[in-house]
Chains A and B, each alone.
Chain A
Amino acid sequence: MQAERKNSAAKWLYGAITALVLIILPFVLEKGFSEYYLYLATKIMVWALFAMSFNLALGYGGMMSFGHAAFFGIGAYTCSLLLVKTSCPLPLAFVIAPFVAAGAGVIIGFFSVRIKGVFYFATITLSFAQLAYILAFKWRSFTFGDDGIQGIPIPALISTDETYINYYFFALIIIVICIYVLWKIVKSPFGLMLRSLRENPERATFVGMKVENYRLIAFVISAFFSGIAGVLYAFLETAISPDILFWSMSGEVILMGLLGGMHIFLGPALGATIMVLLNSFITSYTEYWGMVLGIALILIVLFFPKGVGGLMLEQYQKWMKRKGV
């Protein structure tokens, strides 16, 4: 009991420290460094949300989706198109977008969870995401084609014209809420069932669970939050292009999940942090980001399938054991 209470006190302490850091960080970055770092910090948070949404499907649902860029992109496109082409108010556009992404999740999920086997799942998700990319690319009259959408109108309150600080806090609040909801989902009976499905689908079926339904629900929730990440991304960049629907975007989020460790709740956020920093560092030296990405993925698959987060957790647990806690 005492250990438990101690544990929960430690949890609160860690939480308070994290909150403090996240609140102070933007001011330090702005004063001490430059706006660019503030932009990077916001970008990391957006990708962290995307990676954690993705991980609901991968880490908890056991579904390796090769097409999550579709939901991210559909979220971003829906919101941007509503703002640019209609007089839809921003809050409404913000709310509609993730639902459209979730709708796409229902369609893609319906087909991909039907067939057993990771191969079918992988090929179907990738194919549908490429379909979304082709549509955004070719349907010029509706999506502006490869010109993309420039100058997405954003209210002054969260505008990034002068400083990223307002937008940082806007994104922070939304992302924290989303991560809290994701945490609740993972810890709920539904989350538990999902994990038991991942570990042993056959046995889960024997106790009367409908494998397909659980997977589909998880997939749709994952699509929904990926859509929110997409909207936040569109606001951050104020311009989007079909590239955000491209297969390589799905690859980046997969790598984030794996890098951070897919069986740890915050793992993908760690992966997102590493990847965004690495990307900003490497792309200033070379245009061959894909090569770095591919080699990193190969190394992880061959040598560290548990990811960096998994390795760190392992070391931490070993260390704790040695201390006799």
Chain B
Amino acid sequence: MGFDASMLFVQFISGLSRAMILFLMSSGLTLVFGVMGVVNFAHGAFYMIGAYLAFTLTEILTGFVGFWVALLIAPTIVCLIGGLVEVLLLRRIYEKEHLLQILLTYALIFVFNDIIKMIWGVDLRIVSLPPALGGFFTFFGHSFPVYYFFIIGVGGTVALLLWLLLKKTRFGKLLRASAERRDMVGLLGYNVGGLFTLVFVMATWLGGLSGAVIAPTVRLSLGMDMEIIIECFIVVIVGGLGNIWGALLGALIAGQIYAFGILFVPKYAMAFLFILAAVIIIFRPYGLLGKPAQARG
């Protein structure tokens, strides 16, 4: 195969769209860790539920409408489930050891996997794209799906909205304050419990959105949650756990490494991501944008 400029451009775009999915996912993961101090192992499960809900919704409402409805409704249902999980389960263990918190979210992966198995079965599912987004772009003889641009657009929009939310609103200020000194925020009379619920709902909404967005590009299967969560772990380790811009940076790097790695070893492009994570752990254990103290978890 020839490595001409247009092909590199196509790989770049595909890497960028992958990066945006990774960012959508990792931002939720890192937001929850940054504010609440919990690593949500079940984040991938919320993503998987989002994807399966998108499947069902587009089956019911076909065509262009169905796709947009799915894009809005699927994450909303997912974040309601997330809210329930926070109120019923997570809330009980903030004061306990970190170990128990991880275990609880880990247990949820088992539960959600079997719930999906009960509802949707074990067959592979395919979500069809609306015709307007289903085409291909041809760029100097190399073609790639138009949908890549859509993914990049969604990712970019979410990044912008998150930036506005964190920097420009009172709520964002509270979030940043909670990340630094949770106890002080409580002492100042804010409802930290409610804040946590809201953050978890936001994060699971992002997870559900990632699932709904990626659904038309993959075959849905049980286990898709673990595939993506491992990549997200790498992204947050590279960027710095708890830092949302670290997640963006990590996702951009991981996306490109994957897109170009796949040219060399198609089946094992993931290996490059592990090498990346290994290098970061050795030379900068708290991640590119993380602060050393955060590595203490």
**Is A138 touching B110 in the complex (CB atoms < 8 A)?**
no
A155 CB within 8 Å of chain B: no
Within 8 A of B (CB), among A247-299: 247-248, 251, 254, 258, 287-288, 290-291, 293-295, 297-298
* A134 CA to B231 CA, complexed, in Å: 13
Other-chain residue from A117, A126, A297, A305 in contact with B107 (beta carbon distance below 8 A): A297
Given contacts A247-B226, A290-B114, A291-B114, contact A118 B108 (CB under 8 A): no
* A120 CA to B277 CA, complexed, in Å: 12
CB distance from A164 to the nearest CB of B (A): 30
**Could you say which of A111, A114, A293 has the most chain B C-beta atoms within 10 Å of its C-beta?**
A111
CB distance from B31 to the nearest CB of A (A): 14
Within 8 A of A (CB), among B256-297: 267-268, 270-271, 274, 277-278, 281-282, 285-286, 295-297
- The interface on chain B, measured as residues whose beta carbon lies within 8 A of the other chain's beta carbons, has a size of 46
- Count of A-B residue pairs with CB < 8 Å: 121
* A294 CA to B45 CA, complexed, in Å: 13
Closest to B39 in A: A119
The size bracket of the interface on A is: 35 or more
Q: What 0/1 pattern do residues 99 to 124 of A give for CB contact below 8 A with B? A: 00000000000010011111110111
CB distance from B61 to the nearest CB of A (A): 30
B241 CB within 8 Å of chain A: yes
Contacts of B282 in A (CB 8 A): 111, 114
Contacts of B100 in A (CB 8 A): 301, 305
B77 CB within 8 Å of chain A: no
CB distance from A259 to the nearest CB of B (A): 12
* A30 CA to B107 CA, complexed, in Å: 36
A contact residues vs B (CB 8 Å cutoff): 64, 66, 111, 114-120, 122-124, 126-128, 130-131, 134, 138, 247-248, 251, 254, 258, 287-288, 290-291, 293-295, 297-298, 301-302, 305
Closest 7 CB pairs of A and B: A117-B297, A294-B110, A297-B107, A294-B111, A291-B114, A123-B233, A290-B110
